[in-house]
């Protein structure tokens, strides 16, 4: 699990009390559901919490169990999709020159080593796959491995965290109540303009004035959701635009490729976004 340890502090700006909520859930080993739009910082938040909680564990335990002197808290991230099978998560038997051997999947490794297991866009996974998480989300904290006829008890440090974007979901792709009610839920949204400007400046290295302009642009583009735009401009896309500007691209051209063309293929909506860009960006 060495490759999954978050060793340097990820940059994350808290917007509300999400850090305290996640910390409390981790201390009580309560599974966490993160809900929010694309590119609003859910994944970065989980990375930051893995780093922060590892330091908390070090203080509590007083142990030096890694080369840096920190207790390790690995983070295992799985991008869920409709072809994700139980074997992909739990593990499978493989046949090689030496015979048949068992290979643990990422979920099994996370359970054994006491990692934070982050299932990104969990509703995209097959229904028979999501059932696997049920025994891990209650008092049992167990992972059944049917192919081996065994059950693995989760390490004390293990925590399950899942996320999804409610704006993309339909009745066919949603968490069942029996799954949803196994988690506490933390809602995310795009940060307020003054915080988003700080994030854009920090992540792209652009000037404060340019970051403020892009944050203001983000707010105005998101208002177009009321006119048919499925998803607003993410903080990630605003950072991309700033980075392109840093390379010397004209500001409006950078916004065209990072925002206008990325957000939609609809010609009328592209024109609407372009008009917003023209009104805000010089």
Please give the Cα distance from 247 to 263 (Å, whole number). Answer: 22
Instruction: Look up the pTM and report it.
Output: 0.87
Amino acid 71: pLDDT = 55
Please give the Cα distance from 46 to 25 (Å, whole number). Answer: 13
Tokens of 233: 């401009």
Give DSSP secondary structure letters for 249-270.
Answer: --HHHHHIIIIIHHH---HHHH
The DSSP output letter for 126 is -
Q: Which residues contact 228 (CB under 8 A, 6 or more apart)?
A: 266, 269
Strands (E), the chain: 32-35, 75-79, 91-96, 99-104, 116-120, 142-145, 150-153, 159-164, 184-187
Q: Which residues contact 214 (CB under 8 A, 6 or more apart)?
A: 197, 200, 206, 238, 241, 242, 281
Check: CB of residue 200 under 8 Å from CB of residue 214: yes
Amino acid 1: pLDDT = 43
pLDDT, one tens digit for every residue, the chain (282 residues): 445 788 889 999 999 999 999 999 999 999 999 999 988 999 999 999 999 998 877 554 444 444 444 556 899 999 998 888 888 999 998 988 888 899 999 999 999 999 999 999 998 888 778 888 899 998 899 999 988 889 999 999 999 999 988 876 554 567 788 888 999 999 999 999 999 999 999 999 999 999 999 999 999 999 987 777 888 899 999 999 999 999 999 999 999 999 999 999 999 999 999 999 999 998
Amino acid 66: pLDDT = 46
Task: Of 214, 186, 217, give the one whose Cα is nearest residue 198.
Answer: 214
Amino acid 190: pLDDT = 93
The helix/strand/coil state of 72 is coil
């Amino acid at each position: 699990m060495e490759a999954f340890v978050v060793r340097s502090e990820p940059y994350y700006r808290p917007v509300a009390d999400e850090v305290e909520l996640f910390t409390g859930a981790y201390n009580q080993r309560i599974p966490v559901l993160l809900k929010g739009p694309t590119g609003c910082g859910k994944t970065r938040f989980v990375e930051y919490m893995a780093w922060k909680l590892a330091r908390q564990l070090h203080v509590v335990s007083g142990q030096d169990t890694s080369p840096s002197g920190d207790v390790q808290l690995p983070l295992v991230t799985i991008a869920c999709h409709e072809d994700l099978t139980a074997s992909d998560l739990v593990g499978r038997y493989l046949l090689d020159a030496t015979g048949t051997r068992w290979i643990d999947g990422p979920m099994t490794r996370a359970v054994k080593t006491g990692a934070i297991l982050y299932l990104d866009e969990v509703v995209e996974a097959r229904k028979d796959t999501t059932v696997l998480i049920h025994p891990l989300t209650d008092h049992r904290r167990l992972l059944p491995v049917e192919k081996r006829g065994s059950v693995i008890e989760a390490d004390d440090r293990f925590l399950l965290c899942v996320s999804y974007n409610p704006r993309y979901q339909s009745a066919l792709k949603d968490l069942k109540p029996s799954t949803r009610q196994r988690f506490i839920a933390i809602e995310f949204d795009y940060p307020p303009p003054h915080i988003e400007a700080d994030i854009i400046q920090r992540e792209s290295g652009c000037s404060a004035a340019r970051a403020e302009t892009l944050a203001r642009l983000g707010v105005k583009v998101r208002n177009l959701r009321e006119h048919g735009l499925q998803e607003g401009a993410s903080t990630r896309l605003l950072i991309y635009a700033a980075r392109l500007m840093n390379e010397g691209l004209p500001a409006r051209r950078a916004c065209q490729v990072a925002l206008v063309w990325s957000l939609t293929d609809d010609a009328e909506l592209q024109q609407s976004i372009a008009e917003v860009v023209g009104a805000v960006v010089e």
